[in-house]
Structure 1
Amino acid sequence: MSLIKEIKYSLHVAVRPFDGYWDLKYENKGRLRVALLVLLGVTVTMILKRQYAGYIVNDNDPLSLNSINEFKYIILPFLLWCISNWSLTTLMDGEGKFRDILIATGYAMLPLILINIPNILLSNVITLRESSFYYLFDSIGVIWFVWLLFVGTKTVHQYSVIKTISTMLLTLVVMGIVIFLGLLFFSLIQQIISFVYTLYQEITLRK
């Protein structure tokens, strides 16, 4: 399957998620490169949104934005979700492999691109009274994404509706725990480095 056809199929998944995710899982139609391409597309459109959305709906200062730093707000949560979900579902009899989770999550993010691009253009021509339409479309994109993520998680792991919802919520909890432990680890490393440096200074001064 060519890249163009694979991208077109990602649109099919977004519109008909039950059929689409089933084929991704059991007909091997899912492609990791498409999932990563969607991830890149979401990152780029979010950067464009922060920089070029109309001033009516944009509270960011374009001059102070760092495009490189913007990557961490999309890519890191994406990887953290996939790792946390894989770690959790391994203990909960999930059938999805890590690659399956990456693909399912990547394909689920497509609506964010489909909504962000026209929304950026819309934000530059609307008035303050019409800004509610901008936020409405933003909400539709997020709800669409969560819906696809739900269907993808359910299909990949072959869970029931209740188990899928509980798994997604627990995945968020695991993400929070990982972030907390990560911050604790870096704080501990920083304290150790500071202690060693202080000890080195005292030894040096006494000589």
Structure 2
Amino acid sequence: MLREMTKTPFYVLLHPFQGFWDLKYENKGKLRVALGILLLLTIATILLRQYAGFVVNFNYPYDLNSIYELQVIVLPFFLWCVANWSLTTLMDGEGKFREIVMTTGYALLPLVLMRFGNILISNVITLRESAFYYMIDSLSVLWFVWLLFIGTMTVHQYTVLKTLVTMLLTLFVMGIIIFLVLLFFSLLQQMIGFVLSIYTEISFRT
């Protein structure tokens, strides 16, 4: 298990084209590894917000909520996967939902590594050196986007342009899904309130 958690993800990290090809066509990717990387990212983000040095940490420790961190990492992850799968199904994409989850999970590895690294760096740097902290953070995001782009292109067998369009449309579909979910719960809340008001009115009259 330890070898699975390190060998293929780090190979994808350094050789994304071949790595994602092997993930799809050589069955070298593991769903549990991708979800394990997602879990590590959640842990790294929580630790970074709590234990980053005071030079770059503007969070009040007692206001931090681990459940909130789950919401801003885990939910967007699966929302991206669902939106991408729904969209690419209509755009002749060859990627299965499982492969999309694995691709997205493996692409998160730079964020995991650099956030754990930033925890250590932030506690030894000075205010003048804080630019290195933000540079590393920005680099990890760019690396993640690059890996996600290559992974999407490889898994669905798209061209560069079609991959760019698909990723932008995926973000748009994510917005639509969020809107529909919020609309559904809003209507459900109104229906429940309406039923309760009728029940209360009948109770007072009987």
TM-score normalized by the length of structure 2: 0.97
Aligned to 1:31: 30
- Corresponding letter in the other structure for 1:117: F
2:172 counterpart SS class = helix
Instruction: State the alpha-carbon separation in 2 of the partners of residues 61 and 179 from structure 1.
Output: 29
What is the number of residues matched between the two proteins? 206
Which consecutive segments of 4 or more residues in structure 1 shift more than 3 A? none
Does residue 201 (structure 1) correspond to residue 200 (structure 2)? The answer is: yes
Aligned to 1:95: 94
The Cα shift of 1:5 comes to 3.9
Instruction: State the alpha-carbon separation in 2 of the partners of residues 170 and 69 from structure 1.
Output: 26
- Corresponding letter in the other structure for 1:202: E
Instruction: State the alpha-carbon separation in 2 of the partners of residues 153 and 173 from structure 1.
Output: 16
Instruction: State the alpha-carbon separation in 2 of the partners of residues 153 and 182 from structure 1.
Output: 26
Residue segments in structure 2 that go unaligned for 5+ positions in a row: none
Q: Which 10-residue stretch deviates more, 86-95 or 64-73?
A: 64-73
Does residue 153 (structure 1) correspond to residue 152 (structure 2)? The answer is: yes
Instruction: State the alpha-carbon separation in 2 of the partners of residues 175 and 5 from structure 1.
Output: 31
- Corresponding letter in the other structure for 2:133: Y
Aligned to 1:117: 116
Instruction: State the alpha-carbon separation in 2 of the partners of residues 38 and 54 from structure 1.
Output: 24
Question: Any idea what the Cα deviations from partners look like across 1:34-61, whole Å, max 9, x if unmatched?
Answer: 1011000001101111111112212211
Question: Any idea what the Cα deviations from partners look like across 1:159-206, whole Å, max 9, x if unmatched?
Answer: 000000000000000000000111111111111111111111111111
The Cα shift of 1:3 comes to 3.9
1:54 counterpart SS class = coil
Instruction: State the alpha-carbon separation in 2 of the partners of residues 53 and 29 from structure 1.
Output: 35
Question: Any idea what the Cα deviations from partners look like across 1:5-41, whole Å, max 9, x if unmatched?
Answer: 4522210101110010111111111111110110000
Instruction: State the alpha-carbon separation in 2 of the partners of residues 118 and 161 from structure 1.
Output: 32
Instruction: State the alpha-carbon separation in 2 of the partners of residues 60 and 198 from structure 1.
Output: 42
- Corresponding letter in the other structure for 1:127: T
1:74 counterpart SS class = helix
Instruction: State the alpha-carbon separation in 1 of the partners of residues 170 and 13 from structure 2.
Output: 22
Q: What RMSD in Å do the two structures reach over aligned CA positions?
A: 1.0
Q: Which 10-residue stretch deviates more, 4-13 or 108-117?
A: 4-13
TM-score normalized by the length of structure 1: 0.97
Q: Which 10-residue stretch deviates more, 168-177 or 129-138?
A: 129-138
